[in-house]
Structure 1
């Protein structure tokens, strides 16, 4: 009896088998009273296929030849007596007589690199303890009025052991990360962790963005069950988990997906469609149902089987544009003569509508670097139905401004205000990600102009501006305490810097910002609407000062932000305010002062009937150089 029914064939052939990972791959089964593993692989161009492994001495043996199932070219074999952790591959004989060795595309676990074998593994018996979180997740309001402060982490370089342990090269395991990372995120006040490069990949230097195992948590940090424990622990501590996911391309490694059964199968056959010349990788064939099903199944596997809360989809622009990274003559136009990949567009609409529809409260995030319209628009309205889009335009403008000497900033004042001109177009996440602190781009701290103290005060001002600006937030690990060296995947962050008072103070400043963010709903509700944001003065270029308010839908717990991007002190700075009443200073650049502000009434200012910034009422107070002032008002 086959484990792959005619109905399974029908669904897979139409790209609608949403639990395909339970059919293809290696799964425990029982046949004629014997327990074992059923292996299934899609290889329609193959002439013959064998399962090989430790149990066959890695040789093709007749009893391990797989049976071909038509009409899709699925190969299947039941092997009795197999156990967790045993390695295997598929030996594929091609139509022209070559023999190639391939890892299982649907494997749930893989051999630690540099090995390339798949491993039998069943983690279905894991007992989840995150019922409370999962029930709460289902009830999240679709309006997206939730706080989302994301800590982006590369697990291998967040922290490392000083001694190598059992061949893991000092890397923390999933279970160790579950404890130490969870404790740190809770202390800081982030709401979510985003993990780079969890799907199995062969080369450390790719950071996990050239994937060979789309269903397997990388074995660098442990087993699939260990990864479930990581997610479980985060959820029990009210921390959401986001994974980076890469459906844009895959590497050419011999054991991987490239020409999987001797011919292009997962990739477009024409290199003008199927090659990324800049990256040296293959592009998935989004016009083939089974390939789209493979990718959709991967996304659902992470969310439904591993309880992940969201996927950040990498390199979306490279999927949407047929000419992305290609020269004239090196790409093929669509049927209308345009450069849009219509098949990828339909893939995204199918993927996002399905994932979000089946899993209320989860989210799909697009890393999309162009002005493609309606990334977060509904599919029915011509959109791609992502939940959020990384705001790459804001990020570039923000960093261009922050890197300037303060005396030059007045000439680029509009870079800090331009983001609000298009804020209504998408649901955004403001990002300062890993990509901005590698490849000679400097760390966030060292992008800042001036001497050491100036750098810290500049960065504090920038982070405060980011907090007040509409959009969810993402900050890459280490930038919260002023990592000085560029990030490198082979070493841990420079945690020793926290022995320096200025680095420790910056970390506490960021922690305070995150506390304000979660305390005041005006910072995360109604973010696309102008009635939730108002410039007080967006045009004070000569002094490089920005002032604006974030308004709550209830009219209570509103915030006024004033940020000074020069070292010039304004001892009696006057700022217009929306209405008369009391304005309590609740946060500044200085941590010692912030402690005094918690209960003090000395820092409450009564609005005066004195015109400023086009407002009838205003307040005056001392604004320090690179000063940050956040006021609460009702």
Structure 2
């Protein structure tokens, strides 16, 4: 082992000790370098409570005595060293001995850029060398990725979108062309990948991350993922990735009990252990942990050109009593249940991300009524750009699962969201969480016979695109897959040979295209001035609302008939006289409907109704949604 010039300078150490080193991946981990005139690899790892740290691998028969690291003398707790002649592609781990010598363990590198494919666990020395071709997207990202831009997000689990076989995973590079073609054809603006970081247990769907700087090798090399993102960007598709700073797995080779102490996790298991997920919770008050997590977030933006991070499990970070009974949690210093360290970490994370990348989006998966999740930290918010609307998802699916005969008694569940929809910058998420664990697919949740199930799903999807907020649909929902999602399988693409599934798919495609062509449906998603809740007719299970654009003098009137009864001569108040064009109708024949509608549109008459000076008389299709355009 050579001990020459370090990759760390005094400023690095200063920032590290302050908990403000947010590009730690440039300094720690394994880096092919030229130190003391010789090619080799520099290693750096944070293990302040270890008595010995060595690098082991095939190059030394996995024996710790040959390549020990040295502990820096600046109280940083960082061990480092240089192995001459060691090249890219070599397998390695850290052999760590605790301070009292009673605990020895072989650990993967927390900052490795590549790993062996599970169940193997060694890290792999890798440089990240890729020539990007997405300059146009990156130059225009501030416009394409803003809060006033269209967001129609296709959420997907990469491994089960189009899995080649039971014994083979898809490859990032090989699937790029098919994925881009599909997303472009369907009109989605963004794709959101469930976590792509390395994870030991495939059944965790990526949410139990063992390597926060390495994409899972199940799907290829790091450069293969870069290629996929590059091609998506070249086709004007934004890339959001799930990121999980809320917990990590118990696997011995990972972060847990890293140097013989609870280094990354809270020592008190009333704070440090997650009972729901059998995982460990990061110690957000520790400077080294904050360095690690913020550096991970920055890494994916820096090196992989990610356009947004959807932060998983925010609620579990915010509350000390999350999923815990009385006596199983520790109050904060004020006696409350808020995790003050996690709150401070979240705010610091978002400030740092937006300071460096004002054109990306940080999106919170937060399931409670915590205030101002998507408001700036300067006004007391958590600093996210957007928040998943979990309440809307639950209430809407609960309503749509009811037989239409009972819906009039539950219409408030559907319309409640209109009263709080502008409290946060919401994403309307029809996510993977709702189509697993026996919940059934979106289509199978719908009541009635097959025709009614498909009609209900088209109505649900149309309502989602019309409702204020950005849109997210989990894969398979866009063509009405019958089966609930199975991470070990693949989507049932064969079903598209049947007309009802093709018609659902065409409906979603047309919704996407119409949505993107009409700024009135997205520019004011977070501004109440562009929205009006017209009325709720509970007895008939009909609702109507409008999306408006003052500058374009345009209104889109949305009417939902939530029963299978055709309603003729149904009068609705409108903003102006003139012709109201029926631009979308979920019951139209190309979508497998019965063809009930208004022959392309209706003329408004000066008959006051619903507190409006004008009104239209409509035919409302069964279990259908209408989009009508008129002047403001």
TM-score (norm 1): 0.96
* Residues 1:213 and 2:211 are matched in the alignment: yes
| Residue of structure 1 in register with 2:63 after alignment | 59
Aligned partner of 1:359 among 357, 360, 366: 357
Counterpart CA distance in 2 for 1:450 and 1:423 is 30
CA contact (8 A) 2:145 2:360 kept: no
Aligned partner of 1:437 among 415, 435, 438: 435
Deviation at 1:572, TM superposition (A): 2.3
| Residue of structure 1 in register with 2:110 after alignment | 105
| Residue of structure 1 in register with 2:290 after alignment | 292
| Residue of structure 2 in register with 1:11 after alignment | 15
| Residue of structure 2 in register with 1:95 after alignment | 99
* SS in structure 2 at match of 1:558: strand
1:145-544 equivalence runs, <5 A: 145-162=148-165, 169-537=167-535, 539-544=536-541
Aligned pairs, how many? 622
Counterpart CA distance in 2 for 1:518 and 1:557 is 15
Aligned partner of 1:612 among 603, 609, 613: 609
Change (3 A) 1:65 1:141: closer
| Residue of structure 2 in register with 1:115 after alignment | 120
Deviation at 1:616, TM superposition (A): 2.3
* Residues 1:567 and 2:572 are matched in the alignment: no
Deviation at 1:118, TM superposition (A): 0.5
Deviations 1:282-316 (A, max 9, x none): 11000001101100000000011110000000000
In the alignment, structure 1 segments of 5+ residues that lack a partner are none
* SS in structure 2 at match of 1:551: strand
Deviations 1:360-415 (A, max 9, x none): 21010000000000101111111101000000011111011000000000011011
* Residues 1:626 and 2:623 are matched in the alignment: yes
CA contact (8 A) 2:507 2:591 kept: no
Counterpart CA distance in 2 for 1:557 and 1:186 is 27
| Residue of structure 1 in register with 2:46 after alignment | 42
Counterpart CA distance in 1 for 2:159 and 2:97 is 37
CA contact (8 A) 1:67 1:77 kept: yes
In the alignment, structure 2 segments of 5+ residues that lack a partner are none
Counterpart CA distance in 2 for 1:419 and 1:439 is 26
Counterpart CA distance in 2 for 1:92 and 1:499 is 57
Q: After alignment, is 567-576 or 437-446 more displaced?
A: 567-576
Deviation at 1:591, TM superposition (A): 4.9
Counterpart CA distance in 2 for 1:328 and 1:602 is 62
CA contact (8 A) 1:586 1:594 kept: no
Deviations 1:557-584 (A, max 9, x none): 4211111110000132222211212210
CA contact (8 A) 2:246 2:282 kept: yes
Counterpart CA distance in 2 for 1:114 and 1:74 is 28
Aligned partner of 2:26 among 18, 22, 26: 22
Counterpart CA distance in 2 for 1:391 and 1:418 is 12
Deviation at 1:278, TM superposition (A): 2.1
Counterpart CA distance in 2 for 1:583 and 1:518 is 20
Q: After alignment, is 17-26 or 616-625 more displaced?
A: 616-625
Deviations 1:127-165 (A, max 9, x none): 0000011111145686x1100000000001000114x7x
CA contact (8 A) 1:545 1:563 kept: yes
Counterpart CA distance in 2 for 1:251 and 1:141 is 33
* Residues 1:588 and 2:592 are matched in the alignment: no
Q: After alignment, is 408-417 or 75-84 more displaced?
A: 75-84
Deviation at 1:448, TM superposition (A): 0.2
CA contact (8 A) 2:503 2:591 kept: no
* SS in structure 1 at match of 2:478: coil
